[in-house]
Amino acid sequence: MAFLQDKRILLLHPFLNFYGGAEYLLKVVATEIFPKADIYTFSYRKDILSEMGIEESRIISPLGRGIFSSMYTQTTPLYPSMMDTLSADNYDLVLSFTYGYVHGIVTAHTQPHISFVQTPMRLLWLKESEHYWYDKVPVVRELYRSILAWQRVWDRQAATRPDYLLANSHIVGKRVETFWGRTAQVVYPPVDTAFYAPSEHVTKSDYFITHSRLVRYKRIDILIDACIQQNKKLMVVGDGPDYKRLKAVAKRSPLIEFTGYVSHEEKRHLLQEAKGFLFAAEEDFGIAPVEALAAGTSVLAYGKGGVTETITADTGMFFKEQSAKSLAGSLENFETFVGHVNAGVLSKQAEKFSKKQFVDTYSATVSNKVSDFEKNGPPLLA
């Protein structure tokens, strides 16, 4: 790993306009593994950089943090050409962290490019356009759909550009194979397990909890409906564009409490005291359920996606269908389950996905890939 520190390194991440699991991963890489690397992102917010501990002087950004940074969804058609024309000539190593576009940077045959795939872009491949405003407006729907069809062609071609692909879960690895026709080595992302671990015994309170960015595919509405049906209290932690709709779904029920944005310390406190964590999304990896385990709280989750790789039979339960009826039918059994959970078992499972585990694994993987590249040249694509 030491031989990489003298290299000129470029990190690429699509957007730094909000803070979630993908941004935490970049924070770990940019501050603890490669603290001198430059960082390319289409747009960013200064407060997010501060939260990540990244100096603005390291940022390269075509849209910057001005008015265009708040219009990043409207400028979707521009991103492929930005990648096609971006020069990486000044760098010895390129590391991209992609859930859209940035894996498409063009590099020379002497520059190793390792791309960490959060997921092939949901908007292009997983029919997520129904969650965007322009799919609801007939006047622009067909135009945007034609743009997305063109971008799918570009995206599959761009996926041939990285020399090596990593995936954040086996589920994402299967998507890479299905949509891009390539294979990816699985490296699980980091979770700050040490931060969430209780320092002393915690007395559980009588509420369930969920936390995430409030966007439609997270399916917070399922959690709300199920808890109202079963007369269970639910704490919804987080903010996002789906906030107003979810408040309407809750129908002012006293059982549902929205905290909005809270500090990391307050989120930790709420997680530690909750009797159970509820999760209804089909997520790429799912950092939030692992944070719950680290905090000493069991998980009831929809049984598809990355969560099936992190939650075991002795740390949580799954419900079969992505519906309020399916979840509601599992809540009573889950309440019985949490009364018999061993906190040490939860902690041990969470530690498999700790920040230290990621730093060690990712650092070794990058070192091995670069050594292979320097010895044998660019690999045959697989």
The answer to whether residue 103 is domain-embedded is yes
Say what the pLDDT of residue 68 is. Answer: 67
Return the number of other C-beta atoms located less than 10 Å from residue 87's C-beta.
Answer: 10
Same domain, residue pair 178 and 209:
no
- Residue 69: the pLDDT is 65
Number of domains present in the structure of the chain = 2
The answer as to whether 381 is a domain residue is no
Residues of the chain with pLDDT under 70: 1, 67-70, 128-137, 382
Same domain, 348 and 363: no
What is the pLDDT at residue 382? 61
Cβ–Cβ contacts within 10 Å for residue 240, how many?
17
SS3 content of the chain, % helix, strand, coil (to 5): 50, 15, 35
Regarding whether 237 and 286 lie in a shared domain, the answer is yes
Q: What is the pLDDT of residue 148?
A: 87
Do 182 and 267 share a structural domain? no
Q: What SS3 state is found at 208?
A: strand
* Residue 44 domain-assigned (yes or no): yes
Looking only at Cα atoms, what is the longest distance across the chain?
64
Dihedral sign of CA atoms 133, 135, 136, 138 in order? positive
What pLDDT was estimated at residue 64? 87
Dist CA 238 CA 215 (whole Å): 10
Shared domain for 203 and 245, answered yes or no, is: yes
pLDDT of amino acid 132: 58
Q: Which residues contact 85 (CB under 8 A, 6 or more apart)?
A: none
Q: Domain span at residue 170?
A: 2-190+354-376
Whether residue 21 sits in one domain with residue 168: yes
Mark whether 337 and 360 lie in a shared domain. no
Please report whether residue 325 resides in a domain. Answer: yes
CATH code, domain carrying 26: 3.40.50
Nearest residue to 140 via CA among 211, 73, 44: 73
Any idea of the CA torsion for 77, 80, 86, 92, to the nearest 10 degrees?
Answer: 140
Clarify whether residues 209 and 303 are in a common domain. yes
Q: Mind listing the pLDDT tens digit for each residue in 194-239? A: 999 998 888 999 999 999 989 888 999 999 999 999 999 999 999 9
Alpha carbon distance 323, 336 (integer Å): 21
Residues 362, 333, single domain; the answer is no
Q: Which tokens sit at 318?
A: 């799954």
Q: Are 115 and 166 in contact (CB under 8 A)?
A: yes
Report DSSP state, residue 29.
I
Specify whether 205 is located in the same domain as 217: yes
- Indicate which CATH number applies to the domain containing 295: 3.40.50.2000
Does a structural domain hold residue 220? yes
Residues 6+ apart with CB under 8 A from 29: 11, 95, 97, 362
Residues 68 and 171 in one domain: yes
pLDDT per position as a tens digit, 53-88: 999 999 999 988 876 666 777 788 899 999 999 999
- Looking at the fold, whether 284 and 318 belong to one and the same domain comes out as yes
Report if residue 175 sits inside a domain.
yes
Residue 111 lies in a domain: yes
In a domain, 382, yes or no: no
- pLDDT in the model for residue 134: 59
